[in-house]
Amino acid sequence: MLSNRYGYALSYTPQQVRKTVQMEGLNVEFSCYAVAMFSSRESFDQFHRDLGETCDYDAMRGHIANEHFHGHADFSVSDVFAISAASVEGLGHSGAHEVAGSSHSGDHNHH
């Protein structure tokens, strides 16, 4: 979504992330997590200071990391895109909605 709209980048501005969340009809309640995933710490902090909000970049990325990156909070935009691509590729398979962050291994029998 972001790369389609703005091209591939190592990070996106919080404004680009929020606009994409809104344009795609995603749950804006979690847009702060999206900003933490796709924006730099500096952009994240400045964005929230400008809004008069206090959000914890490390805590949000830590939560995302625990859910989807085996606790590695240094994940990159490329890592997020890779998980998204894996999820899309797996849509034709049972349990594909669990690809991102799944701890399942060897659940599928291959014939």
Residue 32 lies in a domain: yes
By the 8 A CB rule, do 73 and 62 touch? Answer: yes
- What is the domain extent for residue 27? 2-76
By the 8 A CB rule, do 44 and 19 touch? Answer: no
Q: Check residue 90 and give its pLDDT.
A: 55
Residue 29 lies in a domain: yes
pLDDT in tens, 37-49: 999 999 999 999 9
Split into its structural domains, the chain has a count of: 1
Residue 60 lies in a domain: yes
pLDDT over 50 (residue 50): yes
Query: Is pTM beyond 0.85 here?
Result: no
Residue with tokens 């962050």: 101
Residues making up the chain, counted from first to last: 111
Q: Check residue 37 and give its pLDDT.
A: 95
Residue 49 lies in a domain: yes
Residue 46 lies in a domain: yes
CA-wise closest residue to 76 among 46, 101, 40:
40
